[in-house]
Amino acid sequence: MFDFDQYLGFLAFLTILTIGFWLMIFLMTFVIPYWIGGALIEFIKEKRDEKKARNK
């Protein structure tokens, strides 16, 4: 059915596909929400500091 070279190519393909899938899951569940949350916190801090500077 498969030659040894085709078998190795198929295994390499499956490995790359699996790594890409889990990387996508990791990025979508941890990294991107962390990045967005940090950006929102910094934005809120900037607005609060701006408001304090204006009121003084």
Map out the domains of the chain as residue ranges.
1-50
Which phi and psi (to 5°) does residue 5 adopt?
-65, -40
What residues contact 2, with CB distance under 8 A and at least 6 apart? 10
Q: What's residue 22's pLDDT?
A: 97
Q: What's residue 40's pLDDT?
A: 98
What residues contact 23, with CB distance under 8 A and at least 6 apart? none
pLDDT in tens, the chain (56 residues): 779 999 999 999 999 999 999 999 999 999 999 999 999 999 999 999 999 999 87
Q: Read off the pTM.
A: 0.68
Q: What's residue 55's pLDDT?
A: 86
Q: What's residue 56's pLDDT?
A: 74
